Amino acid sequence: MASNGSERDRRPVVGLTTYVEPTRFGVWAVDAAVLHRSYLDCVVRAGGVPVLLPPVTDGHAELVSTVDALVLVGGADIDPARYGRPPHPATVTRPERDAFEFALLDAALAAGLPVLGVCRGMEVLNVALGGTLVQHLPEVAGHAAHQPAVATFGTTEITLAEGSRAAAILGRRTTSHCYHHQAVERLGNGLVPVGWAADGTVEAVELPAERFVLGVQWHPEQVGDDLRLFAALVEAARDPRHRQHRTTRAGRQP
């Protein structure tokens, strides 16, 4: 059995969801499970080991048992049927990815895994816990500043709630890179809003009943010199209570 020091020195394994999209590389034009490299670089620089989780399996518990933390990454919209709404014309969905990520999140929460939801990932967290979404934010906010143009990130000033985990990591105010046309409407069960844009859009949520379950509507992976959220996730993954749980789930003796 490793000593406490050597166990703590081991770099946590961070699982990141991916998405299957038509992709072209070299001479091939094929469907591939892909992810922006910026996520991987942030995890590595924060002290973790990134592992890509493709949405092509039902082995959710097995995947959870092999990682120390989970990042639900950004991407396409959630099928609004999951929260009882017809699709808006601007809604673009990936049902296969939804099925994978909702089941993966269920397994992660059951295992007590630290979870960071990024943009779509925050929306997955909200809907999985019974919440709903605004499907096209410009119609509610009256502007498109959260997604100013195709492939163009907006800049949003976020105010964070005093005493929240997010504020402990980032301070009471932070500047974010955002790219979202949807947002939280009704909060999921147990979730607490802890961050807001100036127009009142909820930009961060937490699950206080868990050790580390945090969702942000912005894209922290786009600010390579600010690793605070990824570093906090990696630090939470070092918690010895989680190490014990992980080794037990994987069938090894702690």
Please list the active-site residues.
119, 219, 221
What is the chain's length? 254
Structure tokens at 99: 């099925």
Are 127 and 83 contacting, i.e. CB atoms less than 8 angstroms apart?
yes
The two tokens of residue 75 are: 């991407």
C-alpha gyration radius of the chain: 18
Report yes or no: 167 and 204 within 8 Å, Cβ to Cβ. no
**Strands 28-34 and 19-25: what pairing?**
antiparallel
Residue 208 CB neighbours (<10 A): 11
Burial class (CB in 10 A: 0-12, 13-18, 19+), 247: middle
